[in-house]
Amino acid sequence: MTSVLILAWLAKSSTFVGQSAMPVVTAEAAIAVHAESGRVLWGRNVDRPMYPASTTKLLTTLILLEETNPNEVIVAPEDVKSVRGSSLHLMPGEQISAEGAAYALMLRSANDVGYAIARKLGGSEDGFARKMNDYSAKLGMTNSQWVTPHGLNNDWHKTTARDMAKLASYARENAELVAITSTQKYTIQRSLNQKDTLLETKNKLLKEDPRIKGFKTGYTNPAGLCFVGYWQTGIGDVVTVVLNSWDWAADESALANWAEKSFAERELSASTEISVAKAKDDQELKVRMREPVRALASADDSAGARLDVGGLAVTAPIEVGQGIGTGRLVLPDGTEFPVDLVAENSVERSFDLQEFLGNPVAIVLVLLASGFYWYRRRSYERFGVG
């Protein structure tokens, strides 16, 4: 009975993007994006506000790496023990390096380390939250609001699957971050607690699938199971996000496998017919793309691509291969590519007497031709010669 309810819920809540065979994903909100092109390959509730839990630490770590050097010292505040949840068990006044803090955030998911970073870089959690919001705004994350550095639940601390995919696409370009998040074990150097130094990743996919290169798990009761992932696949870099999942690892694998199976680099083309002003016998013009578009696409994309020429107006005569402007190749999910247009057939111009008589040059030519004709005719009548 439970499985029937799950499938019914999935069918009701999914936002499919035109593909014939969909991945089975349990998450309330999820997305798979081709990072190089930015194309959304699949999504569900991608703009729904969601709790991100500890996937928040991806943003915190990016700010840390960009604003410190690896050996810079992070000092635990006096009230560090008040931070609840997963922890490095920092002691007040304890020191770790910025590099160690990054590993502690991404592998141990240490909330107390996130708090220590916020106090160092922002002066307070509120000050660091302003940094987080400014940073995400620059990445175009328009539906996110950050309040804490670690993702412990706060009613105002929310993001979306689409926004987290934007963050992941940017994060994959940070080699230091990728190295950290692809590490399974790390021994941290610390000044006081010498017994708790081994950090082990919570990303179990690192042991199971060589395509996964990061990033971060997350969980709280309100948020459910979450993951933001970076995959290196046969179709290029793919970033995936699952929020409020029943099984984040299965969901992530399903998204990566489906994307790699469903998409490939393909040549896309389309044509259409348009009416032509002043065409002889009202002949229509077949318009095609000058060159096919080569892009990541599915078989459904190839079959469903259409050529949109907008309000293109053309007037006869038209020759085969003649350039006639620009248009857009549109895929079933709305993805667009600008294209140059050419004529696939020729179109003759119809004779328009009114237009002809309105042309002064034409009138002069007619008069000259008429005069020459009457001159020749009179010469023949008078002298019998042409």
Does 351 map to a domain?
A: no
- Whether 361 shows a pLDDT value over 50: the answer reads yes
Same domain, 139 and 111: yes
Given a contact cutoff of 8 angstroms between Cβ atoms, the answer to whether 239 and 213 are in contact is no
Same domain, 104 and 197: yes
Does 233 map to a domain?
A: yes
173-200 residue pLDDT tens: 999 999 999 999 999 999 999 999 999 9
> Which pLDDT does position 214 carry in this prediction?
93
Cβ-in-10-Å burial (0-12, 13-18, 19+) of 301 comes to buried
> Which pLDDT does position 323 carry in this prediction?
96
Domain end marker among 263, 280, 314: 263
Does 24 map to a domain?
A: yes
Does 375 map to a domain?
A: no
Does 368 map to a domain?
A: no
> Which pLDDT does position 308 carry in this prediction?
97
**Residue whose pair of structure tokens reads 């044509």 in the numeric block:** 271
Average pLDDT, the chain: 91
Which one-letter DSSP state was computed for residue 281? G
Q: Domains in the chain: how many in total?
A: 2
Sheet of 336-343: strand order equals 271-274, 285-289, 336-343, 323-330, 306-308
Per-residue pLDDT band at 108 (split at 50, 70, 90) = very high
Rounded Cα gap, residues 336 and 331, in angstroms = 6
Given a contact cutoff of 8 angstroms between Cβ atoms, the answer to whether 331 and 266 are in contact is no
Residue range(s) defining the domain that contains residue 180: 15-263
Does 23 map to a domain?
A: yes
- Whether 16 shows a pLDDT value over 60: the answer reads no
Does 362 map to a domain?
A: no
Rounded Cα gap, residues 104 and 199, in angstroms = 7
Residue 207: both structure tokens together: 């042991």
Same domain, 239 and 307: no
CATH number assigned to the domain comprising residue 24? 3.40.710.10
Same domain, 192 and 169: yes
Q: What is the pTM of this model?
A: 0.84
Same domain, 214 and 291: no
Domain end marker among 248, 263, 278: 263
Same domain, 32 and 77: yes
Does 50 map to a domain?
A: yes
Same domain, 274 and 244: no
Of residues 9 and 93, the one with the higher pLDDT is 93
Same domain, 145 and 89: yes
Domain end marker among 244, 263, 282: 263
Same domain, 338 and 258: no
Same domain, 228 and 285: no
Same domain, 38 and 96: yes
- Whether 257 shows a pLDDT value over 90: the answer reads yes
Same domain, 137 and 281: no
